[in-house]
């Protein structure tokens, strides 16, 4: 490839951001707002807010086979089809087109498009606390986080204030409050369980989920109309996505260049400067290869893809992957488990119902190991997420016998109140849970396939048992019947909270990034997606990625101004 | 015995059961079906669905065109094994009707039709263990009656008539009201 000086100039920006999902959208917005000419590279197609949400306003009967995937879907997308339905299939990749290797079963759910998985995410937003930031240091598992809650506190506020998070203040140390819009409301059965929990255990409480769904108009968006169809994209802009929020804000500055259909295959190293000089890109429309240059590079391709991209960026300085002097790159992969929980039926409140479809459930914040508890046989903890409802036709059909008028009458009227809940649990960072490249197998663009080798271990399994136990107990105390405690034993990846493959740490020998998400070994590269996470905590992680991204952008900007980058 | 072991040992039983199956049965279960086989049964399926969810003060399955939903889902979204089980179920139903009443199902009186479907419903709960049933369903597909009923329910509750008249459909709720008194004759919400 020959690049003239003129082209080089044309292809040079102040900053490059790789990936336009939750964290990349934030990076692009922050850098643009600081006046930097920013190139946002996205491997997938463009998805424009509202106009590219083809299913958002469809009725159930508009889907000719209901929400069933076809046999063909299941055959070509054996992983993604377990998450998507005809309503949101277009926001997931095709496994056939984007294969990866599972050393052990691992569900890698992806959305390759502008907005990434911000379109389909569950919108749960929780802050980490010092219980989490100090955990590795306390029990010696994994390296110490180089930051504490106070480093991130203002950035959490900053992120929440921008995206709009509804929730209730609870004044808990293990789950700090945020800048909340009016909370959504618990229904009768959830209040009932909450009252019982408060009465029986002073350390536990049940609160409404904290979600990036707007309970009032916010930043020209929303309010949420309680349709609970968010994963199709929201025509009211009722929830946060890159498409509805950060990317338009970045566009509005006039500093953003968004380039979809651009797979970044390598980060280019400048031997003289000991820095990144830019990136190499395959244009998937023309199959041509381009190079783009910038003073700083933000890597936000999402945890597993980011690891793959860095491992694929080799040079004489970095024979084992970009910035991988520590040998930690690709390792310490984590995902929360959310397999264990319980389901129960309650006979009360038969005269009560609800109207509208609240797009979230409830949360029981972490209550295990708040102090080290010797009676427990596992480290760290979990929170419980769930929701209550009256049985409707989907569930009722299974339990009614026969057919005919009686059957119909029962089918079409509300059944008993039920609650389903499960524990979202911390996963420890294990060195040999990892992502690597298989250079003997290539995708259709000639790039090596990613290989994922991950399993949950003893600590996670013991925690799952405890979850079943405590969930069952809370139900029992609250007078629930037919309690079914379950463990779905879902494989890794199923909670879609992958993280840890380029962790932050104090020491370049044992970590990839410093406390500002800056690469130890290449100062102008910043990684602020989930790969930076030093431990997983048990909170849904994306809010933390946003806060870290905003903080790192500010730092990068200041360093650049000072001439240190 | 813990639950997992229990499932395993039950599973062992089911597998032994398969081994003693004739090759013929195995092949017949896994062959791909001919779409026409099902499409020809459209009228029959409409009547069967209507027996399950009849017209009352709200529309029934036939008016909601549930038969088309059943055919679409069967042909596009159902593994060959289950398709065959379903087709075989229809054949069984037809044979039984012929033997019992000497005529085709569509020629039967309402009470005869009901009796036939009752017979099929009885035939579909062969195992008393819930878990054994689950495994049996997995290996050989759901019994005909249960599959038919499941498809009828799904098709009806998501059809325009079923959702908006059989159930309560709230296209854009605007607000969420968390705890409100049940109305008289309150229908279930069609979507959640
Ligand atoms: C169904 C579902 C529910 C979820 N619920 C929650 C929740 O409730 N709370 C929560 O906190 N999290 C939730 N998550 C997880 C959340 O979506 C992710 O944590 C978040 O999207 C990660 O942000 P990201 O920026 O790292 O990656 P993504 O949002 O995945 O974006 C990555 C982007 O990078 C692009 N890309 C990848 N490789 C390249 C390349 N080589 N070149 C150019 N571009 C590239 C991709 O196409 C994509 O657009 C959920 C996810 C799903 C799917
Ligand atoms: S529930 Fe609210 S945010 Fe979600 S799609 Fe509906 S209106 Fe939009």
- The rounded Å distance from CA A230 to ligand 2 centre is 5
Residue B187 resides in a domain: no
Q: Are residues B1 and B50 in the same domain?
A: no
Ligand 2, atom 2, residue with closest C-alpha: A224
What's the pLDDT at B14? 38
Contact at CB, B155 and A402, closer than 8 angstroms: no
A380: left (phi over 0), alpha (psi -120 to 50) or beta: left
Domain spans of chain A, in order of start: 1-164+240-335+429-453+493-564, 181-237+337-425+457-491
Residue B131 lies in a domain: yes
Among the atoms of ligand 1, which is closest to the Cα of residue A281? 42
Query: Distance of CA A331 to CAs A422, A456, A512, B19, B127, Å?
Result: 28, 14, 11, 44, 48
Q: Point out which residues pair with A453 in neighbouring strands.
A: A434
Are B16 and B101 found together in one domain?
A: no
B16 lies in which domain range?
1-30
Residue B124 pLDDT more than 80? Answer: no
Share of chain A above pLDDT 70, in %: 99
Q: Is the pLDDT of residue B5 over 60?
A: no
Question: What are the distances in angstroms from CA B81 to CA B15, B66, B76?
Answer: 16, 22, 13
Which atom of ligand 1 is least distant from the CA of A83? Answer: 1
DSSP state of A379: S
Nearest to A87 by CA among A238, A242, A229, A236: A229
- Say yes or no to pLDDT of B25 above 70: no
In a domain, B171, yes or no: no
- The pTM for the full model equals 0.94
- Whether the per-residue pLDDT at B68 is higher than 60: the answer is yes
CB B125 within 8 A of CB B74: no
Give B134's pLDDT tier (boundaries 50, 70, 90): low
pLDDT at B9: 38
Do the domain assignments include residue B122? yes
Strands A417-425 and A382-390 turn out to be: antiparallel
Q: Distances in Å between the alpha carbon of B146 and those of B17, B89, B112?
A: 22, 11, 20
Same domain, B136 and B57: yes
In a domain, B86, yes or no: yes
* CB A141 within 8 Å of CB A379: yes
pLDDT tens across the length of chain A (565 residues): 555 677 788 899 999 999 999 999 999 999 999 999 999 999 999 999 999 999 999 999 999 999 999 999 999 999 999 999 999 999 999 999 999 999 999 999 999 999 999 999 999 999 999 999 999 999 999 999 999 999 999 999 999 999 999 999 999 999 999 999 999 999 999 999 999 999 999 889 999 999 999 999 998 999 999 999 999 999 999 999 999 999 999 999 999 999 999 999 999 999 999 999 999 999 999 999 999 999 999 999 999 999 999 999 999 999 999 999 999 999 999 999 999 999 999 999 999 999 999 999 999 999 999 997 889 999 999 999 999 999 999 989 888 999 999 999 999 999 999 999 999 999 999 999 999 999 999 999 999 999 999 999 999 999 999 999 999 999 999 999 999 999 999 999 999 999 999 999 999 999 999 999 999 999 999 999 999 999 999 999 999 999 999 999 999 999 999 999 8
Clarify whether residues B89 and B14 are in a common domain. no
Contacts of B53 in chain A (CB under 8 A): 403, 407-408, 411
The residues, ordered by sequence, that sit 6+ positions from A277 with a Cβ below 8 Å of its Cβ are A268, A269, A270, A293
Radius of gyration of chain A (CA): 24
Could you tell me whether strands A180-181 and A165-166 are parallel, antiparallel, or unpaired per DSSP bridges?
A: parallel
CA dihedral B73, B76, B79, B81 (to 10 degrees): 80
Q: How many domains is chain B partitioned into structurally?
A: 2
| HSE, side-chain direction, 13 A CA sphere, residue B93 | 29
Same domain, B57 and B99: yes
Spatial distance between the Cα atoms of A174 and A167, rounded to a whole number of angstroms: 16
Euclidean distance between CA atoms A245 and A21, whole angstroms: 11
CA A265 – CA B34 distance, rounded (Å): 46
pLDDT value of position B118? 96
Contact A421, A386 (CB under 8 A): yes
Q: What is the pLDDT of residue A503?
A: 98
How large is the average pLDDT for residues B179-185? 94
Q: How far is the CA of A110 from the centre of ligand 1 (A)?
A: 7
**At the top level of CATH, which class does the domain A1-164+240-335+429-453+493-564 belong to?**
alpha beta
Atom in ligand 1 nearest the alpha carbon of residue A300: 25
ipTM confidence score:
0.93
Quote the pLDDT of residue B126.
46
Please say if the pLDDT value at position B105 is more than 90.
yes
Residue located nearest, by CA, to atom 1 of ligand 1: A121
Cα A397 to Cα A407: distance, rounded to the nearest angstrom: 9
Average pLDDT over residues B43-72: 98
A353 neighbors B182 (Cβ within 8 angstroms): yes
- Taking CA atoms only, the protein residue closest to ligand 1 atom 47 is A112
Q: What are phi and psi of A464, to 5 degrees?
A: -60, -40
Q: What is the pLDDT of residue A485?
A: 97
Q: Is residue B43 part of a domain?
A: yes
Three-state SS letters, A330-377: CCCCECCECCEEEEEEECCCCCEEEECCCCCCEEECCCCCCCCCCCCC
Q: Are residues B9 and B90 in the same domain?
A: no
What is the sign of the dihedral through the CA atoms of B172, B178, B183 and B186? positive
Q: Angle CA(A317)–CA(A318)–CA(A321) in degrees, nearest 5?
A: 170
- B65 and B115 share a domain? yes
In a domain, B179, yes or no: no
Q: How confident is the model at residue B35 (pLDDT cuts 50, 70, 90)?
A: confident
Own/partner contacts of A444-450, CB < 8 Å, gap of 24 or more, are A444/A97, A445/A263, A445/A265, A445/A282, A445/A284, A445/A287, A447/A263, A447/A265, A447/A312, A448/A308, A448/A312, A449/A99, A449/A100, A449/A101, A450/A100, A450/A101, A450/A304, A450/A305, A450/A307, A450/A308
Please judge whether B182 and A61 are an interchain contact, meaning their C-beta atoms are less than 8 angstroms apart: no
Are A397 and B150 in contact (CB < 8 Å)?
Answer: yes
- Does residue B119 fall inside a structural domain? yes
Question: Based on the domain organization, do B51 and B19 belong to the same domain?
Answer: no
Share of chain B above pLDDT 70, in %: 73
Mean pLDDT value across chain B: 83
**Alpha-carbon gap, residue B89 to B112, rounded angstroms:** 18
First to last CA, chain B: 38
């Amino acid at each position: 490839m020959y690049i003239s000086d003129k082209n080089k100039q044309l292809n040079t920006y102040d900053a490059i951001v790789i990936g336009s999902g939750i964290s990349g959208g934030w990076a692009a917005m922050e850098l643009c707002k600081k006046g930097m000419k920013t190139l946002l590279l996205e491997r997938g197609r463009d998805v424009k807010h509202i106009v590219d949400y083809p299913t958002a306003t469809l009725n159930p009967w508009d889907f000719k086979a209901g929400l069933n995937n076809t046999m063909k879907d299941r055959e070509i997308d054996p992983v993604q089809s377990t998450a998507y339905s005809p309503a949101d299939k277009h926001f997931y990749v095709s496994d056939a087109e984007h294969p990866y290797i599972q050393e052990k079963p691992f569900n890698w759910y992806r959305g390759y498009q502008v907005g990434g998985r911000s379109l389909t995410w569950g919108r749960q937003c929780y802050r980490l606390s010092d219980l989490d930031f100090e955990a590795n240091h306390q029990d010696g598992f994994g390296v110490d986080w180089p930051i504490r809650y106070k480093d991130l506190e203002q950035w959490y506020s900053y992120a929440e204030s921008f995206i709009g998070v509804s929730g209730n203040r609870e004044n808990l140390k293990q789950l700090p409050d945020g800048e909340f819009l009016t909370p959504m409301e618990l229904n009768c059965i959830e209040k009932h369980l909450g009252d019982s929990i408060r009465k029986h255990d002073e350390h536990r409480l049940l609160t409404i989920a904290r979600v990036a769904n707007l309970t009032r108009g916010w930043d020209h968006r929303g309010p949420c109309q309680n349709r609970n169809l968010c994963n199709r994209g929201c025509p009211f802009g009722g929830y946060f996505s890159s498409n509805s929020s950060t990317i338009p804000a970045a566009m509005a500055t006039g500093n953003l260049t968004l380039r979809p259909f651009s797979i970044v295959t390598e980060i280019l190293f400048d031997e003289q400067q000991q820095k990144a000089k830019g990136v190499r890109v395959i244009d998937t429309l023309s199959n041509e290869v381009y190079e783009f240059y910038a003073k700083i590079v933000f890597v936000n391709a999402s945890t597993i893809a980011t690891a793959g991209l860095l491992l694929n960026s080799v040079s004489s300085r970095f024979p084992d992957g970009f910035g991988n002097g520590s040998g930690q790159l690709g390792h310490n992969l984590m995902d929360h488990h959310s397999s264990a929980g319980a389901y129960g039926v309650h006979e009360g409140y038969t005269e009560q119902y609800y109207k509208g479809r609240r797009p979230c459930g409830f949360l029981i914040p972490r209550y295990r190991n708040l102090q080290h508890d010797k009676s427990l046989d596992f480290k760290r903890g979990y929170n419980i997420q769930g929701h209550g409802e009256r049985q409707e036709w989907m569930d009722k059909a299974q339990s009614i016998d026969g057919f005919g008028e009686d059957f119909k009458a029962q089918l079409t009227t509300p059944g008993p109140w039920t609650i389903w809940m499960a524990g979202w649990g911390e996963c420890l960072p294990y060195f040999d849970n990892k992502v690597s490249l298989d250079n003997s197998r290539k995708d259709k663009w000639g790039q090596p396939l990613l290989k994922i080798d991950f399993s949950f271990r003893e600590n996670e399994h013991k925690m799952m048992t405890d979850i079943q136990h405590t969930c069952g107990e809370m139900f029992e105390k609250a007078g629930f019947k037919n309690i079914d405690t379950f463990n779905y034993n879902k494989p890794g990846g199923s909670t879609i909270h992958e993280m840890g493959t380029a962790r932050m740490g104090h020491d370049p020998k044992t970590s990839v990034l410093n406390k500002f998400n800056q690469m130890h070994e290449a100062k102008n590269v910043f990684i602020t997606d989930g790969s930076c996470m030093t431990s997983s905590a048990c909170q849904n992680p994306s809010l933390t990625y946003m806060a870290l991204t905003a903080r790192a952008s500010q730092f990068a900007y200041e360093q650049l101004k000072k001439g240190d980058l | 015995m813990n639950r997992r072991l229990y499932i395993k040992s039950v599973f062992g039983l089911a597998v032994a059961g398969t081994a003693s199956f004739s090759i013929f049965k195995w092949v017949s279960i896994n062959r791909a079906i001919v779409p026409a086989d099902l499409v020809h049964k459209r009228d029959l399926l409409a009547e069967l669905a209507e027996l399950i969810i009849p017209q009352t003060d709200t529309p029934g399955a036939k008016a909601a065109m549930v038969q088309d939903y059943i055919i679409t889902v069967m042909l596009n979204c159902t593994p060959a094994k289950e398709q065959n089980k379903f087709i075989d179920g229809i054949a069984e139903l037809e044979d039984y009707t012929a033997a019992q009443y000497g005529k085709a199902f569509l020629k039967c009186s309402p009470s005869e039709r009901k009796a036939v479907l009752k017979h099929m419903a009885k035939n579909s709960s062969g195992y008393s263990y819930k878990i054994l049933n689950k495994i049996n369903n997995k290996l050989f597909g759901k019994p005909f009656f249960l599959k038919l009923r499941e498809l009828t329910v799904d098709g009806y509750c998501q059809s325009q008539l079923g959702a908006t008249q059989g159930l309560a459909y709230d296209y854009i709720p605007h607000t969420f009201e968390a705890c409100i008194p049940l109305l008289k004759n309150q229908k279930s919400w069609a979507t959640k």
